[in-house]
């Protein structure tokens, strides 16, 4: 299977702890996106990378959030000092810049975070 993968699929943590999620995009895709989805809402954009460069960050991404894509391949999203309001599904997507289908983003299965 060469789709987008995310790890872990589920994470339960206590308030105040740090958590880190990983995303492995489709191998030939040079763009990688992070979104967050809460119950009853559509996914909301957090940030995106083109290769290793982080090109845009949403105002939803507070100082406690940091994302990296060090070698332009996999990416990590870290949340420091988690709060109950951080509980959500964190989705990663990737796309290929250029070509006829460059607008289409393909999503991974998501990481469901529960902060107790």
Binding stretches for another protein (CB under 8 A): 4, 6, 33, 35, 40-45, 48, 55-56, 58, 91, 93, 95, 97, 102-110, 112
Say which residue the tokens 């559509």 belong to.
42
Q: Residue 70 CB, nearest distance to another protein (Å)?
A: 22
Closest C-alpha to 29, from 80, 76, 75: 75
Cβ atoms of 4 and 25 within 8 Å: the answer is yes
Q: Residue 47 CB, nearest distance to another protein (Å)?
A: 9
Task: Count CA within 13 A, CB hemisphere, residue 22.
Answer: 7
Residue 88 vs 93, nearer CB to another protein: 93
Give the 3-state secondary structure of residue 70.
coil
Residue 27 vs 103, nearer CB to another protein: 103
- DSSP states of 77-100: EEESS--GGG-EEEEEEEE-SSST
Residue 56 vs 83, nearer CB to another protein: 56
Q: Residue 109 CB, nearest distance to another protein (Å)?
A: 5
Residue 26 vs 80, nearer CB to another protein: 26
Q: Residue 16 CB, nearest distance to another protein (Å)?
A: 27
């Amino acid at each position: 299977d060469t789709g987008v993968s995310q790890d872990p699929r589920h994470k339960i943590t206590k308030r105040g702890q740090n958590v880190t999620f990983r995303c492995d995009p489709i191998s030939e895709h040079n763009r990688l996106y992070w979104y967050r989805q809460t119950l009853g809402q559509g996914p909301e954009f957090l940030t995106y990378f083109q290769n290793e460069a982080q090109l845009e960050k949403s105002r939803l991404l507070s100082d406690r959030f940091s994302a990296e894509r060090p070698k332009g391949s996999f990416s990590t999203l870290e949340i420091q000092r988690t709060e109950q309001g951080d509980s959500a599904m964190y989705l990663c997507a990737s796309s290929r810049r250029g070509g006829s289908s460059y607008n289409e983003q393909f999503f991974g299965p998501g990481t469901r975070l529960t902060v107790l």
